[in-house]
Amino acid sequence: MKTLYIIDAVNFIFRSYYAIGPMTGPQGQSTGALYGFIRSIYKLMRDFSPSHLVAVFDGPDNKKQRTAIYAGYKEHRTGMPEDLFPQLELAHKFCVNAGIPHLEPPGVEADDAMGSIAVWAASQGVKVYICTSDKDMCQLVNDDIHLLNVYKDNLEIDASKVVELFGVRPDQIVDLLALMGDASDNIPGVEGVGPKTAALWLQEFGTLDELLAHPEKIQGAKKKQSLIDGKENALLSRRLASLDLHVPFPKAQDFFHLQEPDLPAIRELYQSLNYLSLLKELDQKAAAASAPATTYEIIDDEARLKQLVSELSSKEFLVIDTETTSLEPMRARLVGLSFSAEPAQAWYIPMNGKVGKTAALELLRPLLSSRSIGWIGHNLKYDLHVMANEGICLEKIASDTMIASYLLSPQSGRHSLDQLSLEKFGKVKIPIENLIGKGQKQISMDQVPLPDIGEYACEDADYTYRLHVLLSEELKKNELLSILQTIELPLLPILFNMERRGIRIDRLVLQDLSKDLHQGIDLLREQIFVIAGGEFNLNSPKQLGEILFEKLGIKGLKKTTTGYSTSADVLEKLKDSSPIIPLILQYRLLEKLRSTYVDALLSESLQPNDHIHCTFNQSVTATGRLSCQDPNLQNIPIRSPEGKKIRSAFIPSQTGFSLLSADYSQIELRLLAHLSDDPALITAFSQGEDVHTYTASLVFGIPLREVSDDMRHLAKAVNYGIIYGQSAFGLSEQLGISSKEASSFIHTYFSRYEKVKDFLEFCKESTRATGRAVTITGRKRPIPDIHSKNPIIRAAAERLAVNTPLQGTAADLIKLAMIDLEGCLERQKGLGQLLLQIHDELILEGPQHSMAALSEIVSACMQGVMKLKVPLVVDISIGKNWGEC
Measured between alpha carbons, how far is 872 from 854 in angstroms, rounded to an integer?
A: 18
Mean pLDDT of 863-868: 95
Domain positions in the chain are: 3-256, 296-478, 507-608, 668-777+796-802
**Residue 74 scores a pLDDT above 70:** no
Do residues 631 and 829 make contact, with C-beta atoms less than 8 angstroms apart? no
Class of domain 668-777+796-802: mainly alpha
Measured between alpha carbons, how far is 359 from 649 in angstroms, rounded to an integer?
A: 43
Measured between alpha carbons, how far is 567 from 573 in angstroms, rounded to an integer?
A: 10
Could you give phi then psi for residue 176, rounded to 5 degrees?
-60, -50
Residue 745, pLDDT score:
85
pLDDT in tens, 136-168: 899 999 999 999 998 888 889 999 999 999 999
pLDDT in tens, 622-642: 999 999 998 888 888 777 788
CATH topology of domain 296-478: Nucleotidyltransferase; domain 5 (3.30.420)
Residue 881, pLDDT score:
95
The enclosing H or E element of 178 equals: helix 173-180
The SS3 assignment for 183 reads coil
- Please report, as a single letter, which amino acid is at residue 769: A
pLDDT in tens, 214-256: 887 778 777 778 777 778 877 888 888 888 899 999 998 899 9
Measured between alpha carbons, how far is 282 from 114 in angstroms, rounded to an integer?
A: 30
pLDDT top residue among 213 and 332: 332
State the Cα angle at 344 between 341 and 345, rounded to 5°.
45
Residue 480, pLDDT score:
97
Do residues 159 and 171 make contact, with C-beta atoms less than 8 angstroms apart? no
Do residues 468 and 376 make contact, with C-beta atoms less than 8 angstroms apart? yes
Residue 567, pLDDT score:
86
**Residue 607 scores a pLDDT above 70:** no
The enclosing H or E element of 851 equals: helix 851-863
Q: Quickly state the pLDDT bin for 210 (edges 50, 70, 90).
A: confident
Residue 62, pLDDT score:
58
pLDDT top residue among 160 and 190: 160
Mean pLDDT of 434-448: 91
Q: Quickly state the pLDDT bin for 76 (edges 50, 70, 90).
A: low
Average predicted confidence (pLDDT) for the chain: 90
Q: Quickly state the pLDDT bin for 784 (edges 50, 70, 90).
A: confident
Quote the DSSP letter at residue 564. E
Residue 463, pLDDT score:
97
Q: Which one is the CATH code of 3-256: 3.40.50.300, 3.40.190.10, 3.40.50.1010, 2.40.128.120?
A: 3.40.50.1010
pLDDT in tens, 473-518: 999 999 999 999 999 999 999 999 999 999 999 999 999 999 999 9
* Helix, strand, coil percent values for the chain (each to nearest 5): 55, 15, 30
Residue 75, pLDDT score:
64
Quote the DSSP letter at residue 143. S
pLDDT in tens, 806-816: 999 999 999 99
pLDDT in tens, 273-292: 888 888 877 755 455 445 56
| Structural domain 507-608, CATH architecture | Up-down Bundle (1.20)
Residue 518, pLDDT score:
94
Mean pLDDT of 565-579: 86
Mean pLDDT of 108-112: 89
Kindly report the number of other CB atoms within 10 A of residue 242's CB atom: 18
pTM of the model: 0.77
